[in-house]
Structure 1
């Protein structure tokens, strides 16, 4: 089964970028099924890559391999083994028992995200190709990790672009096996830098927890001692717990989800942290930041970790305004010498643009600020040199002069 590209549209594949858009396709076999494996050919018929086919998505093909090799169970076994070895080499498990095991294109597995939470795997499939091979991949994961229990969280909106329905539930094993530590409510407790966090596998964001922020949470803790901290978009309190555990004077955690804040308070109890130094506040972060400004409140440290404002470049302009708004307000609320930990996980906002947005916010706030550190995702979220889109998490640590 073949797809032939328009003349000149093979350049991205020659640079080993794994996506082919619909506009690049000159001719495709008429009987291609959703998720089928196809050969990508140049306009003159030369083999370029082997990929999965999606008849609906604008990303019409995603490359499995640039080599002329079969895509089968043993192919996925090699990719999974390589991903496991990479995590072992980076010693990601030296500080945690929860980390990303498969990270999509950067592990040569487009459409697949697999996170390990102790002795449970959570799998997310987002493309026609990953759905096609999901059962095979699940079998290989059990064989190569020895973990018997896999829960599926393929319930993300991006599946709609592939013509796929949301799916969530047990993929392998059971949820009542005592080896997983799972309760009947699909919660478990993980360890991170000697702290404990409850994870809601069934209803939590992403696969249950923001594993990509692990190192950045630790960095917040290293600077938190004696500071009044404001944690915005706090979710279940990862940054808040690290700040409190490392001697923050006070922590105010803000989120729009009452359920997330309830789990945050449970995490405070779980870690025997001083509840009197912590306050939860439910509400819209944008509105609350303005109220804090109007009330002349101030903080020594502010954390901004908002949701994805710009999933694609098409949303960048609107998202830029939102990022500037919250960063401008944060700069106004920071005391002199205060620290801003600000992040963007939006694929449509690259690192250079994000820095420009934060700089513009500081200028409009009338403050001098210095970047003292650039932050990104952890080593269990690797980035292929040929797939810069994999570097989705951008972080800046700024100090207000």
Structure 2
């Protein structure tokens, strides 16, 4: 790590940083040219050199780093990281005690005081996610802090900062005893096979835990369910366990078929009673219209941005069109579970997409449930972008 540098904040952004905004943004800084090496400790000051905060330089999405403390004399050292991690783990005490859920997030970036870093727990295994070269420069201090605080089977890491636009494909193992994968974790009593050694994704997105439980417990019984952008079929598994008549899982990735079969089998579900299709979701909508298919429930959980050979999808630009196509194959009185993890807009705008889609299709609807991030994905009010998840259960009236 390089010597500390000073960043001057433009006057119009000073109040925002005083209020606790944690991200260092390009438009707020007068002298970004002083930043050279990621991992450099930076002090933010106003134009009169009054201290505002201290953090590090690290390129992540549109940000240039994160503020870690508003205390001028606080050092970013081993004890700093121990204190942050201990506080976060203490707040998840109830999660550690829950025998029905053995996988959850134990540290959530800026929500727990260190932007660019998340840590997840998978039944005794810990997975550290590094989101920039900058935070990765503190690797030794953070891993040492983690090992000082918890008992673990093993620690794995995911380097989620781009090198040439690609995930950093290194050996993900850090410490402990290498796992024999898959390991089986529980979520609300449901089994999932997860892999901590196969690149950036483990096989389950932990932020949808409450949504999946709601589908199983309240809405799935007796329903035909279409699960689009299905990944490893987690929503389909929950729907099946909730008594769905049949599920159809659709995803473009070839791996989705064996991965979905694996998740069904982990829960004693015969995959032959369900449909799994490897194809472009947008092509599937056309196929469903052609075959006069309709579903009692359609689950939409697309990535914020996706590209296939024939289609490019951006949640901000294309979600309305996606909803219009979904409405066309949803039965009257049916339910659409509309979800997005795009941090570029809030819940009000997302509900606006829903309103526009139904207006464009001359339909009527009622919102019957909404969700954002669960409690283990801690967020702060000063950084609304951190509360990225938006899920709306919509009943199609006609």
* TM-score normalised to structure 2 length: 0.90
Out of 381, 384, 387, the position equivalent to 2:383 is: 387
Q: Does 2:21 correspond to 1:25? A: no
CA contact (8 A) 2:158 2:199 kept: no
Aligned to 1:85: 90
Which of 270, 274, 280 matches 1:278? 274
The Cα of 1:309 is off from its aligned counterpart by 2.5
Q: Is the 8 A contact 1:124 1:207 kept in 2?
A: no
CA gap 1:302/1:165 in 2 versus in 1, 3 angstroms = closer
Instruction: Give the secondary-structure state (helix, strand or coil) at the position aligned to 1:216.
Output: helix
Question: What's 1:313 paired with?
Answer: none
2:367 match: 371
Given candidates 229, 234, 247, the residue that maps to 2:230 is 234
Q: Which runs of 5+ in 1 are unaligned?
A: 176-181, 311-316
Alpha-carbon offset, residue 319 of structure 1: 3.1
Show the 5 A alignment for 1:35-74: 35-54=39-58, 59-68=63-72, 69-74=74-79
On the 8 A contact 2:203/2:232 being kept in 1, the answer is no
Q: 1:4 aligns with which of 5, 8, 14?
A: 8
Name the structure 2 match of 1:174. Answer: 177
Distance in 2 (alpha carbons) for counterparts of 1:58 and 1:227? 42
Give the length in aligned residue pairs: 386
Aligned twin of 2:125: 120
Deviation at 1:29, TM superposition (A): 9.0
| 1:253 paired residue among 235, 249, 252 | 249
- Any gaps of 5 or more consecutive residues in structure 2? 307-312
What CA deviation, in whole Å up to 9, does each residue of 1:4-27 have, x standing for no partner? 223333222012111122333234
Higher mean C-alpha deviation, range 265-274 or range 317-326: 317-326
The verdict on how the C-alpha distance between 1:357 and 1:11 changes in structure 2, with shifts beyond 3 A counting, is: same
2:328 aligned with 1:325: no
Q: Which runs of 4+ in 1 moved over 4 A?
A: 28-32, 55-58, 89-92, 163-168
Provide, for residues 319-355 of structure 1, a one-character-per-residue CA deviation record: whole Å limited to 9, x for no partner. Answer: 3342112211111111111111110111123211111
Deviation at 1:258, TM superposition (A): 2.1
Q: CA RMSD in A?
A: 2.5
Within the candidate set 146, 151, 154, 2:156 is matched to 151
Tell me the residue number matched to 1:268.
264
Q: TM-score, normalised by structure 1?
A: 0.89
Shift in Å at residue 129 of structure 1?
3.0
Residue equivalent to 1:198: 193
